[in-house]
Amino acid sequence: MNYLVSVQAAIDFLEENIEEKIELEDVAKIASMSLPHLYRMFYSLTGYPVKDYMRKRRISIASDHLKYSNRTILDIAIHVGFESQASFTKTFKKVVGITPKVYKDSGMFFCFDRIDLYEKINYLEGRELFDRYPDIKVIQVKDMVVLSYIHRADRLDGIEKEALTVVQYLVQASDLNEKKIRIFGRNIGYDEALDKKSQLYEYEVMISIEDPIVYSIAGMPIKTIQGGMFAVGVTPSTSDASILSLWNQMYSEWLPKSSFKEGKHTYLEEYITFNEKLVRMKLYLPLDRQIRPELITVEETESFRVSYCRSYGHGCLVKADKTLSEWLRSTPSIDYFSAKLYLSYNYDSENDLEHWGEYGITNYLNHEDMNTQSINQKVLGGGLFAVIETRAYGTLMGILEIMHRWIVSGEKYILDDSKQWFAQYQVSSANNNMSVRIYIPIIERGKLYG
């Protein structure tokens, strides 16, 4: 099974029906997965539980309606799939931090974009830098077949918005579905911005759609724009000063501190509109990856016994950690030089009865049955695992995402659902810092399918 294709199919189904009532069982069928498997893989590949993704996307759509339409809050709530204004307001405040009414009249901007797994890139290097610039993401864009319009003017000031206005008029006069198009723009090279023949400045606007040959527009020839890796930033303001400020931040601050270098493919700007009004911009800075050593290895492990506490529901990891810590303090016979702390949890089902988190210690020598309701014993490991060693980043969600993407993109291995993943913590003797080795069980695809 190609997990990336399956989860992207689930995302596409959610997006097509985001304003309707969606049963997760139907999403799982679209992805050709069991519901628990969907929870796990969706969380691994997107970084979000499936219900959380649906919730944030609906709130993002609602936030545009609040800012740029005259609909009432109740009408917006019903439109994006909530049963009442009260439930919408509660969820909106939880996601955005303020109520819909306050947001509507504020200068605040909230956006949670649709995820495209074919664009998504994960990385370990420079992680602290990415935490400093959370609004700048790195994605992979495929080559795009587009409809192209070249706008010419005798000045550079305002040329972009003039070009966008013309293209919007052409789209409205065509049979294009405006919900399924994306509009990009770019300067035609710094040395070529002034057309030598006409002595006019030029700016290109491009429409990316699924089938430009079928849905062509007179005066807009078809061409292919080279894709590649991009750093993408979003500005909530469409003023020239705001756009220039973001370009400067991405190019002058972010890029020199990152593990990337400037790519040779083209710079792009994406126009995000709502009700035909330009509401924000996405800026695409072309990147190439710096050479780095491979971080993920494949290892054959021996099985070992563990003592652990598993808790369920909201805050389960905190509860498991507390219970295990109390037990460790009351058990002086543990050899802490050989025992190591480990963590594991399931991929969030968002059901308090199903979601669990687990803390334990490895190599605990006392294998006798324990007279406690909170501490149990079992066996972990044994077999083939994808392994990475890194710093201890909280619940390790981002690292797990990277590893699953590595498994999916390599196509040599698949996940082994018969075994449990775990993260084993250790203190570095060199600098006394905490590091972690993460183990994800895998199977060689060739051995499974012959």
Q: Give Cβ neighbours of residue 49 (< 8 Å, ≥ 6 apart).
A: 39, 42, 43, 347, 348, 349, 350
Determine the CATH number of domain 3-104: 1.10.10.60
Alpha-helical (H) ranges within 273-424 are 316-329, 397-410
Tally of CA atoms within 13 A in the half-sphere of 92 that contains its CB: 30
- Return the pLDDT at 192: 45
- Return the pLDDT at 132: 76
Pairing of strands 201-208, 222-225: unpaired
121 with 139: CB under 8 angstroms? yes
Architecture of domain 297-449: Alpha-Beta Barrel (3.20)
- Return the pLDDT at 211: 66
- Return the pLDDT at 327: 87
**DSSP-assigned beta bridge partners for residue 262:** 287
Three-class SS of residue 307? strand
- Return the pLDDT at 127: 58
User: CA-to-CA distance for 64 and 42, rounded, in angstroms?
Assistant: 26
Task: Find how far residue 65's CA is from the centre of its chain.
Answer: 24
261 with 251: CB under 8 angstroms? no
Domains 137-289 and 297-449 share a fold: yes
- Number of separate helices (H) and strands (E) present in the chain: 14, 16
Quote the tokens at residue 416. Answer: 């082994």
- Return the pLDDT at 394: 67
Whether pTM > 0.85 for this model: the answer is no
Q: Where are the domains positioned within the chain? A: 3-104, 137-289, 297-449
- The four Cα atoms 427, 428, 429, 432 give a dihedral, to 10 degrees, of -70
H helix or E strand, kind and range, residue 337: none
- Return the pLDDT at 101: 94
Three-class SS of residue 76? helix
27 with 50: CB under 8 angstroms? yes
- Return the pLDDT at 176: 77
- Return the pLDDT at 191: 44
- Return the pLDDT at 39: 87
User: CA-to-CA distance for 272 and 143, rounded, in angstroms?
Assistant: 20
- Return the pLDDT at 92: 95
The fold of the 137-289 domain, in CATH, is Multidrug-efflux Transporter 1 Regulator Bmrr; Chain A (3.20.80)
- Return the pLDDT at 198: 59
Task: Find how far residue 57's CA is from the centre of its chain.
Answer: 12
- Return the pLDDT at 91: 94
Task: Per-residue pLDDT tens, the chain, 450 aa: give them.
Answer: 678 889 999 999 999 998 888 999 999 999 998 888 898 888 878 878 899 999 999 999 999 999 989 999 999 999 999 989 999 999 999 999 999 999 998 888 888 888 988 887 766 555 566 667 878 888 889 899 999 999 988 888 889 989 999 998 888 888 777 777 899 999 875 444 445 555 678 899 999 877 666 667 877 899 999 999 999 999 887 888 888 889 988 988 888 777 788 898 999 999 998 877 888 999 999 998 764 545 789 999 999 889 899 999 888 888 999 999 888 888 766 766 677 899 999 876 555 667 899 999 986 555 555 556 788 889 999 999 999 888 776 677 767 877 887 887 777 898 888 899 999 998 765 556 678 899 999 999 877 765
